[in-house]
Amino acid sequence: MSTDQKIALVELHDARFASLTLAAGGLCRLCLQGVTVYREVGKELFQLSKCDAELNLAGVSRFSWEGRPTPDGRITGDSVSDLAGEIEWLHLLTGKAISALSLSFDSGSRLNVASDSAELKIGRVTGTLPDWVGPL
């Protein structure tokens, strides 16, 4: 699979939490596995891949993890927003000012972060899924 095609959609649902790093100065890195990436290869035709990804946050002013995090926890709900409201994860590929993000996990735990900016870096492809045909 070529990674040169334009990324049209990024989904965190069903991705797995791999690690978390908090650093001085309001920096945070979340490493995820199994993020679904839709790459446009034709009109309403998308190649789907599972990828590793890093979510890098800067200016973290609030960080809370409700419940007990579990190793390899699967994401069951997610949202990211800027001052105008909820945005797509796709917008974070080039870095973006945000206000908050939330991730819910299959264990019932929930991560809530208030942050000034975020960048989502898509890493290596770890698997493929059947192509998606149709509008996103």
Predicted structure pTM score: 0.91
Q: Give tens-digit pLDDT for 50-97.
A: 999 999 999 999 999 999 877 778 999 999 999 999 999 999 999 999
Q: What is the mean pLDDT of the chain?
A: 93
Strand partners, 86: 81
Instruction: Read off the pLDDT of each residue in 130-134 and give the average, rounded to a whole number.
Output: 94
52 φ/ψ sector (left φ>0, alpha ψ -120 to 50, else beta) = beta
The CA distance from 68 to 84, in Å, is 31
Q: Per-residue confidence at 1, pLDDT binned at 50, 70, 90?
A: very low
Q: Nearest CA to 56 among 16, 98, 7, 87?
A: 98
Give the pLDDT of residue 4: 57
Query: What tokens were used for 4?
Result: 């040169």
